[in-house]
């Protein structure tokens, strides 16, 4: 079995981050979403992976390389423009050959894995097997109508009046029969080759198409709130590991990972949280559900329930929550303009990070500089 990972979307809902990085490289618990996806695929025993990429080939290949660090072999498949999921299957035809394959959307997180569903597919080998999940708002998804025996009766994309609450979650298993279906369908009203149309074509031809329900945690990391929610979910699984320099004046409680090369000075870190390699946390309080990337600086700062990407700097920033701070962004509190001439920002008296009560939320893109008047 091979794998086809789709990573060609533009990620408009994740701006400003998707202006400067592919949405599939947004870090969850300090690892890019795509890295989590490839790990999940490897856990299925699949190591030959094709990744469909758009105009972010350089960024994605730069982050993942040939896949050897993750135990897989990656073939990059360029897509000039996003023309639908079935179009991705069509342009990957040479890579896929006549092998069975799993198709996985590159911005989907299913941390509980689909190993049991993959085993079912291998045992039965239907023409297609879709993974579904019960949702409260099926109008927003492709929906499967499923018989009692698990066979798919009908697939409908974003139905106005859903006859089922089983949404397609973006993981599909196919035999080579899907290639004939992809070749037979026409573009939809939005000009794309829809994978739901291809699967429906198989159903109409009398091919066996099955659905398997995934009941674990699932998130499409397409918006900032989804990214933060997914970060919380993965941080809950952390095992405490402190492989860094933590001074005697600091306190670390709960499941906290402090990676090698980081330094914690006169600070408090409450888990679940992760501090990346080379990061300095000084005179600060890092609360639960926070991931801080590599080579960051947190000085006299308090934050919780947030994501800080590599190289960011936070100085005298108190009460951040539910925030996402981009790569190499710099945020600092400075003296108010009327007091600036007489005040040295390095020695000015201020409320300690541990006792600050104000709360702020920031979503800041890469290489942004923000100065907040005290």
pLDDT tens by residue, 142-173: 899 999 999 999 998 888 888 899 999 989 99
Residue 369, pLDDT > 60, answer yes
3-state SS of 116-137 is: HHHHHHHHHCCCEEEEEEECCC
Reported as type and span, the H/E element at residue 286 is strand 285-286
Q: Give the chain's mean pLDDT.
A: 89
**Token pair of 269 as six digits:** 């870190």
Q: What is the percent of the chain where pLDDT is above 70?
A: 90
24 vs 185: which has the higher pLDDT: 185
* Cβ-proximal residues to 146 (8 Å cutoff; 6+ apart), any chain: 132, 152, 153, 164, 166, 211
Domain with CATH 2.160.10.10 in the chain: 238-337+356-373
pLDDT in tens, 61-114: 999 999 999 999 999 999 988 889 999 999 999 999 999 999 999 989 999 999
**Token pair of 234 as six digits:** 């993965």
Q: Which of 60-64, 275-279, 352-356 has the highest mean pLDDT?
A: 275-279
pLDDT recorded at residue 286: 97
* Interatomic CA distance for residues 105 and 40, integer angstroms: 12
Residue 181, pLDDT > 80, answer yes
Q: Are 306 and 322 in contact (CB under 8 A)?
A: yes
Is 25 strand, coil or helix? helix
| CATH 2.160.10.10 is the classification of domain 238-337+356-373 | yes
Domain with CATH 3.90.550.10 in the chain: 2-223
Of 267, 271, 311, 318, the closest CA to residue 293 belongs to 311
Residue 355, pLDDT > 60, answer no
Is 203 strand, coil or helix? helix
Cα 100 from chain centre: 26
Is 24 strand, coil or helix? helix
Question: What's the CATH superfamily of 2-223?
Answer: Spore Coat Polysaccharide Biosynthesis Protein SpsA; Chain A (3.90.550.10)
């Amino acid at each position: 079995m091979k794998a086809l990972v789709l990573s060609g979307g533009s990620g408009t809902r994740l701006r400003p981050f998707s202006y400067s990085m592919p949405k599939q490289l947004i870090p969850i618990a300090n690892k890019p979403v795509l890295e989590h996806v490839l790990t999940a695929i490897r856990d299925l025993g699949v190591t030959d992976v094709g990744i469909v990429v758009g105009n972010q080939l350089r960024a994605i290949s730069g982050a993942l390389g040939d896949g050897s660090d993750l135990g897989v072999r990656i073939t990059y498949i360029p897509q000039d423009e996003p023309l639908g999921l079935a179009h991705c299957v069509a342009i990957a035809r040479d890579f896929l050959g006549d092998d069975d394959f799993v198709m996985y959307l590159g911005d989907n997180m299913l941390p509980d894995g689909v190993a049991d569903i993959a085993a079912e597919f291998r045992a039965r080998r239907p023409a297609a097997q879709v993974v579904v999940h019960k949702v409260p708002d099926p109008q927003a998804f492709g929906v499967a109508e499923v018989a009692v025996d698990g066979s798919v009766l009908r697939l409908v994309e974003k139905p106005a009046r859903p006859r089922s609450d089983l949404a397609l979650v973006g993981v599909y298993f196919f035999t080579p029969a899907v290639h004939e279906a992809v070749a037979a369908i026409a573009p939809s009203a939005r000009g794309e080759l829809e994978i739901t149309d291809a699967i429906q074509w198989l159903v109409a031809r009398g091919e066996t198409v099955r659905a398997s329900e995934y009941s674990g945690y699932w998130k499409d990391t397409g918006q900032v709130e989804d990214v933060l929610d997914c970060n919380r979910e993965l941080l809950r699984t952390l095992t405490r590991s402190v492989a860094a320099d933590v001074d005697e004046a600091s306190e670390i409680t709960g499941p906290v990972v402090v990676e090698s090369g980081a330094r914690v000075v006169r600070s408090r870190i409450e888990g679940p949280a992760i501090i990346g390699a080379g990061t300095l946390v000084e005179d600060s309080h890092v609360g639960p559900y926070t991931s801080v990337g590599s080579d960051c600086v947190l000085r006299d700062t308090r934050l919780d329930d947030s994501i800080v990407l590599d190289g960011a700097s936070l100085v005298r920033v108190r009460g951040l929550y539910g925030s996402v701070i981009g790569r190499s962004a710099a945020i600092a509190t400075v003296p108010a303009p009327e007091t600036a001439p007489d005040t040295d920002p390095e020695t000015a008296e201020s409320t300690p990070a541990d006792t600050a009560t104000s709360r702020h939320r920031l979503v800041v893109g890469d290489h942004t500089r923000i100065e907040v008047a005290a």
